[in-house]
Amino acid sequence: MTINNYNITSADIKPVYIIMTYIFDGSLQGLLTAVFEYFERKPGETMLKSTEMFQPQAFAESFTVITDATKADRVWAGLQKKLKKEWLRKFYCSYLSEVSEAYNHLFQFSIYIFKHAAGAESNYGNEHVIALSKYAKSVEREKHRMEAFIRFQKTGDGIFYAGIDPDFNVLPLISNHFKNRYADQQWVIYDLKRKYGLHYNLTSVEEITISFTNGINKQNPASILMDESEALYATLWKDYFKSANIVARKNTKLHVQHVPKRYWKYLTEKEIL
Amino acid sequence: MFDRIREKLNILADAAKYDVSCSSSGGTRKNDNKGLGNSHTSGICHTYTEDGRCVSLLKILLTNHCIYDCLFCVSRKSNDIKRAAFTVDEVVELTMNFYRRNYIEGLFLSSGIFKNADFTMERLLLVVKKLRLEQNYNGYIHLKTIPGASDELIKEAGLYADRMSINLEMPTEAGLKLLAPEKSHADVIKPLDFVQKQITQFSADKKLIKHIPKFVPAGQSTQMVIGATPESDKDIMYTANAFYNNFSLKRVYYSGYVPISNDTRMPILGTQPPLLRENRLYQTDWLMRFYGFKVQEILNDANPNLDIDIDPKLSWAIRNMQHFPVDINTADYKMILRIPGIGVMSAKKIVQARKFGKLRIDQLKKIGVAYNRAKHFIICLDSPYQLKDYQGTQIKAFILAESKSKYLKTDNNQMILF
Ligand code: SF4
């Protein structure tokens, strides 16, 4: 047989190794359901992708996971039995990274955990264990940064407002911190990228969406609405930031390392006077 | 009114900034009364100054009026500067409003000494009481103990503050006497000791009686100024070590002297602050507190000063090559901690991971080991066979050559931990 002048002999035709691809809807429940289906169907080597990322390929088979709360709960309960709190947290954080490869690592990690005796998660020689540690670390860092860099502005109706656009979906992680700390003031933290926010109403934290009027600056939504003391304290804070600096020790590189430029837009002290 | 408060803040923040302690950690106060604030056990840096230091507390003096004349201090009596004083309410308002906007973790309040020690301490006490009792404020408070204040005032303040500190200022008594003849280390030791005894007493009582109030729950700290007087690194770290041991201090801070006067008893204006030396002292402090090193192993009569070109952990390893190479797959955790290029986190991961099989180079790298540095000191499963034993000095040359480019590019004052 001759195609395009190349001679192909039977020796060149190797068996195609087909990898199964599971497709899920991007939700945590969906991901956990996928793990359930894997053990139910035993498809051999399998990749997990979200609907968004999935592109049909030749030599690949795929299966669409239908999210199922009961199946998801069973998998989660199974993980709870095998993993300590710290690792359940890493698992959840990796999911909140919203990185598409993280979804597959979570899937493979779960399979690995269920196939091995308790304690397998401390095998830092395993690529999925390392991957989850890394995702969780980045997400926790972003969480920590938001707790540090959020700056509330007091609005005319007494609510403390902050607009943010974090790299990862960290609102679920920071909610408790702000609730416990700012228990005696109403506040709103709004994720401008994911278009939802948290509102604390002095009793509980509720998820909200805000429809902004066109043209409004969302980071700094309407100077007209601000409390009259807002400008005073913002100015005092900027002054303080300048006074605290020791010019003889100037170290811009270190400064930027700690406060990467992409966060400057949050910071009152970085606004130009 | 607006301008007045701005001016005060500028003066009193400026005068307070040389106290390097920024830590807001170790607090355990919860927001139980639905008031404002709590303390985060590990503390949060809300921003960083342009010199790269953490800003977590509103650090101010109540006043910069002072009856003393310590040569190393901007607030000294003989210095010709603007003076100001906050009212108690002004400090309370500033703290509350900064805290509500998530600018800060809390307040660091210190003061020059006006009239006398007790008069000053009383004012400080008024501020913290008002915050805690009237404003339901549960955020962090770091309060300076005023040397010479009465035990009753110090004891009461300890019920509201999370941390208290009092500065040694100079690492040795002789150094202190040179620059502040009116002061002595004894003035510092007495309140440190008093507060420490109270902390012990309160926690003993707490075991018996449940609802005992907290007393300085985040412990005490102190600060030494480095490079204003001619002490060796050994003098400095032996003093630090003694204070850690005798008063269970949470932290000792080392502050590179930033020249503020032309008095010839100290480095004059325009002299660079000794930032690299400060960094090496902090590294030594970490080795003592988290890596199981005894201060005598790092500094002794044969080595009274730290190397400037390499960090103290590497320096120790090179002087003690008889302990190396260490087998990653069998050695004690304690010994793994001592390997240059391996930090606490990596050491812990190594000890866990090796239970699943002997570790290889690529796994060590993934775990976070700085392999290029560590390779001179370790053996793992696939370590290349070494024909000859290198001398410590040769290894130092290798590591320096390798990190030369990086080392030259980083500013001297960057904090690099192993
Ligand atoms: S007593 Fe304190 S404030 Fe006064 S001059 Fe000495 S160090 Fe400065």
Residue A212 predicted with pLDDT over 90:
no
Architecture of domain B2-278: Alpha-Beta Barrel (3.20)
Bridge partners, A196 (sequence order): A191
Cα(B72) to centroid of ligand 1, in Å?
9
Other CB atoms within 10 A of residue B304 CB: 12
Mean pLDDT over A143-172 rounds to 93
The residue whose CA is least distant from atom 6 of ligand 1 is B70
More confident residue, A226 or A34: A34
Predicted pLDDT at B178? 85
ipTM reported for the complex, 2 dp: 0.84
- Please compute, for residue B57, the number of CA atoms within 13 A of its CA located in the half-sphere on the CB side: 28
Predicted pLDDT at A125? 85
- Supply A179's token pair: 């609730």
Residue B26 region by backbone torsions, left for phi larger than 0, else alpha for psi between -120 and 50, else beta: left
Nearest to B139 by CA among B96, B101, B87, B94: B96
Cα(A246) to centroid of ligand 1, in Å?
19
Read off the pLDDT of residues B189-215 as tens digits, 9 standing for 90 and up: 888 888 988 898 888 887 777 677 788
Contact between B355 and B349 under an 8 Å Cβ cutoff? The reply is no
Read off the pLDDT of residues B256-304 as tens digits, 9 standing for 90 and up: 888 877 777 788 777 777 888 988 999 999 999 999 999 999 999 999 9
Predicted pLDDT at B206? 77
Mean pLDDT over A141-160 rounds to 92
Cα(B73) to centroid of ligand 1, in Å?
6
Domain ranges in chain A are: 11-142, 150-270
Residue of A nearest to B414 (CA): A254
The residue whose CA is least distant from atom 5 of ligand 1 is B76
Read off the pLDDT of residues A12-35 as tens digits, 9 standing for 90 and up: 555 556 788 999 999 999 999 999
All CATH 3.20.20.70 domain ranges in chain B, comma separated: 2-278
Residue A7 predicted with pLDDT over 70:
no
Nearest to A200 by CA among A154, A161, A240, A251: A161
CB pairs under 8 A between A and B: 162
- Check pocket membership of B395 for ligand 1, CB cut-off 6 A: no
Share of chain B above pLDDT 70, in %: 93
- The answer to whether the Cβ–Cβ distance between A251 and B52 falls below 8 Å is yes
Q: What pTM value is reported for the model?
A: 0.83
For an interface test with B, the pick among A174, A245, A253, A265 (most B C-beta atoms closer than 10 Å) comes out as: A245
Read off the pLDDT of residues B97-155 as tens digits, 9 standing for 90 and up: 999 999 999 999 999 998 899 999 999 999 999 999 999 999 999 999 998 899 999 99
Nearest-neighbour CA in chain B from A68: distance (Å): 35
- Check pocket membership of B144 for ligand 1, CB cut-off 6 A: no
Write the single-letter amino acid at B211. Answer: H
Q: What is the DSSP letter of B134?
A: I
Bridge partners, A24 (sequence order): A50
What single string gives the DSSP state of each residue in B336-388? HHTSTT--HHHHHHHHHHGGGS---HHHHHHHT--HHHHTTTEE-TTPPPPSS
- Residue-averaged pLDDT of chain B: 87
Residue B406 predicted with pLDDT over 60:
no
Model confidence band, residue B229 (pLDDT cutoffs 50, 70, 90): confident
Model confidence band, residue B388 (pLDDT cutoffs 50, 70, 90): low
Residue of A nearest to B412 (CA): A251
Predicted pLDDT at A218? 64
